[in-house]
């Protein structure tokens, strides 16, 4: 499975870049309602402290600090529910053990779903019926809870947001499914919620005090951002499935050394070699990236791909060859051998499990 730390970091970044605004557009009203109903003395005139001319209690910043507790409770409830869900999704994914192309289809589906949410945010009425929404009965229940005076209401509302996800959340949930373990799945959704927290809290406060015009402009900006993230997700899915590669077609390809080495000759150090036994070896260096990303190799020769880990980390360690259904975790420092058999002429694509990076091996007739 992909590195848990890498999944966590990627999810935090996704939350910061796209999740906060998207989720605030869907759930910010609930937070605003919960916070506004929990400000001590709400609705009462601010007469100030007698003889001081100081508004309110006379303590500077107290009016700013009052909403912080309910906001924190809301986000804590949200973090708890999403972490638990991520763990369940990770277990579910580990039980299914999805193939690289199944994982790729899930990523593409998540990207398409995000496009629908983005178009809905941009006001495209044609997609309104295609966007998944919670049942109206649940919506009424949540709105009643938002009006409650209970001090537990913000936390309960935050916990309930797991049932009304935004488009970006749905895509991250699919990543949790493909993560392969409860811990990794929990890390995915916990990281996402933590990434959304700063912007989500700020936007929730602005939604409470801002005008409808501001909210509308924010929806447009959010829609554009989510469209960009959706495009990135679809491209990642295509690469994870081996149907497309971001490796530059003009990048120089590592080619096989001509002819086998003679017995006793020095071992060649190139990334593509053919030994005295007539077997071909392709060495792919795995750090946080793949080096190189394109190879030219000889077809019709028994071939072994060596993943050479050199302080490897991140998604690059979770190596896949979608066409062959290969899924391997590269050693952090060491070699992992993959038998490719005797290949016919043609290109063989590889990528990390999440499709964020990849490359190709071009098998050709005769010496490459």
202-238 pLDDT per residue, tens: 755 555 555 455 556 666 776 787 787 778 878 888 9
Cα 319 to Cα 326: distance, rounded to the nearest angstrom: 8
List, for residues 324-362, the tens digit of each pLDDT value. Answer: 999 888 888 999 999 999 999 999 999 988 788 899 999
pLDDT at 308: 95
pLDDT of residue 294: 93
- Give the residue-averaged pLDDT of 86-107: 82
Domains of the chain are 4-40+65-240 (no CATH), 254-261+268-364 (2.60.40.420)
pLDDT at 262 exceeding the cut of 70: no
Kindly tell me if the per-residue pLDDT of 89 is higher than 70.
yes
Q: What is the pLDDT of residue 104?
A: 86
Looking at the chain, the whole-number percentage of residues with pLDDT higher than 90 is 25
Q: Comparing 15-29, 123-137, 139-153, 162-176, which segment has the lowest mean pLDDT? A: 139-153
| Model pLDDT, residue 267 | 41
More confident residue, 200 or 184: 184
Q: Is the pLDDT of residue 164 over 90?
A: no
Residue 133 confidence (pLDDT): 59
Q: Which residue has the higher pLDDT, 8 or 285?
A: 285
Q: Which of 6-20, 152-166, 197-211 has the lowest mean pLDDT?
A: 197-211
Asked whether residue 16 carries a pLDDT value surpassing 90, the answer given is no
Cα separation, 155 vs 150, in Å, equals 10
Q: Average pLDDT, stretch 244-249?
A: 74
How high is the pLDDT of residue 367?
A: 65
Average pLDDT over residues 90-97: 77
Q: Is the pLDDT of residue 268 over 50?
A: no
Please report which confidence band the pLDDT of residue 43 belongs to, taking 50, 70 and 90 as the band edges: very low
Q: Give pLDDT, residue 26.
A: 58
For residue 238, the Cα-to-chain-centroid distance in whole angstroms is 15
């Amino acid at each position: 499975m992909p590195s848990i730390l890498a999944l966590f970091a990627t999810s935090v970044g996704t939350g910061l870049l796209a999740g906060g605004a998207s989720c605030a557009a869907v759930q910010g009203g609930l937070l605003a309602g919960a916070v506004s109903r929990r400000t001590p003395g709400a609705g009462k005139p601010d007469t100030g402290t007698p003889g001081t001319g100081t508004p309110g209690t006379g303590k500077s910043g107290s009016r700013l600090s009052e909403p912080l507790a309910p906001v924190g409770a809301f986000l804590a409830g949200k973090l708890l529910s999403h972490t638990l869900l991520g763990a369940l999704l990770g277990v579910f994914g580990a039980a299914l053990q999805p193939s690289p192309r199944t994982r790729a289809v899930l990523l593409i589906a998540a990207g398409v779903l995000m496009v629908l949410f983005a178009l809905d945010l941009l006001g495209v009425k044609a997609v309104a019926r295609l966007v998944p929404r919670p049942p109206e009965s649940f919506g009424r229940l949540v709105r009643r809870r938002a009006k409650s005076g209970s001090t537990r209401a913000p936390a309960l509302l935050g916990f309930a947001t797991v049932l009304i996800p935004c488009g970006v959340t749905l895509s991250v949930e699919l990543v949790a499914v493909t993560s392969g373990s409860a811990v990794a799945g929990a890390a995915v959704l916990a990281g996402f919620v933590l990434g959304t927290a700063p912007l989500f809290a700020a936007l929730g406060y602005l939604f409470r005090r801002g005008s409808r015009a501001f909210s509308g402009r924010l929806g447009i900006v959010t829609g554009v951002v989510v469209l960009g993230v959706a495009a990135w997700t679809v491209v990642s899915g295509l690469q994870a499935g081996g149907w497309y590669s971001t490796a530059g077609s003009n990048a120089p390809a590592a080619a096989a050394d001509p002819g086998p080495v003679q017995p006793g000759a020095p071992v060649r150090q190139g990334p593509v070699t053919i030994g005295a036994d007539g077997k071909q070896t392709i060495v792919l260096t795995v750090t946080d990236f793949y080096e190189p990303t394109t190879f030219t190799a000889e077809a019709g020769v028994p071939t072994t791909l060596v993943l050479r880990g050199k302080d490897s980390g991140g998604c690059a360690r979770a190596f896949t060859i979608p066409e062959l259904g290969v899924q391997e975790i590269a050693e952090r420092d060491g070699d992992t051998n993959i038998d490719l058999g005797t290949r016919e002429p043609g290109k063989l694509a590889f990528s990390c499990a999440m499709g964020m990076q990849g490359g190709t091996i071009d098998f050709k007739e005769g010496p490459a």
